[in-house]
């Protein structure tokens, strides 16, 4: 059984250099989150006629089954085994809610399925396997902070400064509204129709370098500024797509303004937003509880999760396949 944490990009990936191979068009850099994790158990069984996929206690739909079987096929090919597999997976947070379940999901699946097939793969190779399904999943193989270069086949860990190790993410879960458009179709649509995609793509490497340099030197003000610029440039490209991709709802904007007010009063707090309506706020661990209370009061905020940096994806004994109870405090889900 494998456990992998989700991650949130500080420098965003949006756009594919090669859609078939699923190679990223821009470099990205993320923080792995302790509070959001997926546990996945894989058993290859010669008596099965087809792969059986159960997610959070329910049989997976056809499109998810296809994506999971594609990972299993790669593992079967490498291990020279023909058996179908039974896959059970549990998230300790709401699935497909825009909280990056594909990142932790495909990272846990890559590790659990390769181990079940007897393959003892390096982190880089596991990251490449996860990346073929989801670029963000390539980063979830690693703990702390991780990056993946444009066109790269796998991610790598980034050893950050002591100041950056004290960072936390406060996640404001806002009204879900209609189900968001999935990241793959949304980014291909942005690439195909947005006149601003090229602007995002041209600018992304410099923003990524700025985020990376700021993390390494512990320059929090520069980090926060570059991180917000990355997210807003990505959303600006989506807004200009035809038809437009608008992931924000009124609560998303309320949190953005709430974060700006916190900052105006001297708190280090900077937001990022993915392909969904939730707002993730980067802050220092000591400020997380206070920021959480402020965001929880904003209209439309349903729940606030606080997380510190998470560990790398890892194998666990099979009997630990139970969704963990949410823990309290600034380093756990709440
Ligand atoms: O790799 P995917 O399909 O999970 O897409 C991730 C896209 C963003 O979350 C918006 C950005 C990122 O770098 O994680």
Calpha distance 2→117 (Å, rounded): 13
Among 25, 106, 233, 275, say which to mutate for ligand 1: greatest number of ligand atoms within 8 Å of CB: 275
Q: Which long-range contacts (CB under 8 A, 24 or more apart) does 181-186 make?
A: 181/245, 181/275, 182/275, 183/102, 183/134, 183/136, 183/274, 183/275, 184/16, 186/238, 186/245, 186/275
Distance 273 CA to ligand 1 centre (A): 10
Note the pLDDT of residue 329. Answer: 33
Distance 47 CA to ligand 1 centre (A): 36
Its pTM stands at 0.94
Calpha distance 227→145 (Å, rounded): 14
What residues line ligand 1, using a CB cutoff of 6 Å?
9, 12-14, 28, 102-103, 134-136, 183-184, 274-275
Distance 184 CA to ligand 1 centre (A): 9
Ligand 1 atom nearest to 135, measured from its CA: 1
Among 25, 128, 135, 271, say which to mutate for ligand 1: greatest number of ligand atoms within 8 Å of CB: 135
Note the pLDDT of residue 95. Answer: 60
Ligand 1 atom nearest to 234, measured from its CA: 10
Ligand 1 atom nearest to 28, measured from its CA: 13
With CA atoms as reference, report the closest residue to 42 among 34, 53, 50.
53
Q: Is the dihedral of CA 40, 42, 48, 49 positive or negative?
A: positive
Tokens of 118: 């007897």
Ligand 1 atom nearest to 182, measured from its CA: 3
Ligand 1 atom nearest to 136, measured from its CA: 1
Tokens of 240: 């200009």
Residue nearest to atom 4 of ligand 1 (CA): 136
Residue nearest to atom 10 of ligand 1 (CA): 274
User: Tokens 């990972």 correspond to what residue?
Assistant: 71
Calpha distance 146→262 (Å, rounded): 28
Distance 9 CA to ligand 1 centre (A): 7
Distance 110 CA to ligand 1 centre (A): 17
Note the pLDDT of residue 93. Answer: 77
Do residues 131 and 154 lie in contact, with contact meaning Cβ atoms separated by under 8 Å?
yes
Ligand 1 atom nearest to 24, measured from its CA: 1
Residue nearest to atom 9 of ligand 1 (CA): 274
Distance 274 CA to ligand 1 centre (A): 7
What's the Cα-to-Cα distance from 257 to each of 98, 149, 246, 270, 326, rounded to whole Å?
Answer: 20, 32, 18, 11, 29
Distance 297 CA to ligand 1 centre (A): 28
Note the pLDDT of residue 57. Answer: 92
| Spatial CB neighbours of 282, under 8 Å, sequence gap ≥ 6 | 10, 31, 167, 168, 169, 223, 224, 227, 269, 270, 271, 272
Per run of 10 residues, the mean pLDDT along the chain (length 334 residues) is 97 98 98 96 98 95 95 98 97 70 94 98 98 98 98 98 94 80 95 98 98 98 98 98 96 98 98 96 98 98 96 91 47 32
DSSP state of 309: B
Distance 46 CA to ligand 1 centre (A): 35
Distance 57 CA to ligand 1 centre (A): 25
Calpha distance 311→307 (Å, rounded): 12
Distance 235 CA to ligand 1 centre (A): 12
Which helix (H) or strand (E) segment is 217 a member of?
helix 197-217
User: Tokens 């990272």 correspond to what residue?
Assistant: 107
Note the pLDDT of residue 328. Answer: 36
What's the Cα-to-Cα distance from 272 to each of 98, 135, 225, 229, 255, rounded to whole Å?
Answer: 12, 18, 10, 9, 11
Note the pLDDT of residue 330. Answer: 31
DSSP state of 326: P
| Angle between helix 288-296 and helix 250-264 axes, rounded to 10 deg | 140
């Amino acid at each position: 059984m494998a456990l992998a944490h989700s991650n949130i990009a500080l420098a965003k990936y949006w756009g594919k250099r090669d859609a078939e191979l699923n190679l990223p068009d821009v470099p990205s850099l993320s923080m792995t989150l302790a509070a959001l994790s997926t546990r996945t158990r894989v058993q290859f069984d010669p008596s099965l006629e087809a792969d059986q996929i159960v997610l959070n206690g329910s049989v997976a739909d056809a499109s998810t089954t296809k994506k999971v079987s594609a990972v299993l096929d790669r593992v079967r090919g490498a291990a020279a085994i023909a058996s179908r597999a039974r896959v059970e997976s549990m998230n300790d947070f709401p699935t497909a809610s825009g909280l990056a379940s594909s990142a932790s999901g495909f990272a846990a699946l890559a590790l659990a399925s390769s181990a079940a097939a007897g393959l003892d793969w390096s982190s880089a190779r596991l990251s490449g396997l996860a990346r073929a399904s989801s670029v963000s999943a390539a980063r979830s193989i690693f703990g702390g902070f991780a990056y993946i270069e444009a066109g790269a086949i796998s991610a790598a860990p980034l050893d950050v400064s002591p100041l950056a190790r004290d960072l936390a993410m406060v996640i404001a879960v806002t009204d879900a509204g209609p189900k968001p458009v999935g990241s793959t179709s949304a980014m291909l649509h942005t690439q195909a129709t947005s006149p601003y995609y090229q602007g995002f793509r041209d600018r992304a490497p410099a923003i990524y370098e700025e985020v990376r340099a700021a993390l390494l030197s512990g320059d929090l003000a520069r980090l926060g500024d570059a991180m917000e610029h990355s997210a807003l440039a990505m959303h600006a490209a989506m807004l200009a797509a035809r038809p437009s991709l608008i992931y924000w709802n009124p609560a998303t904007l309320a949190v953005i303004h709430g974060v700006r007010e916190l900052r105006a009063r001297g708190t280090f707090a900077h937001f990022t937003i993915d392909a969904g309506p939730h707002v993730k706020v980067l802050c220092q661990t000591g400020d997380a509880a206070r920021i959480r209370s402020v965001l929880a009061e904003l209209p439309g905020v349903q729940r606030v999760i606080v997380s510190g940096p998470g560990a790398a994806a890892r194998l666990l004994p099979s009997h630990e396949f139970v969704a963990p109870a949410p823990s309290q405090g600034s380093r756990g889900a709440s």
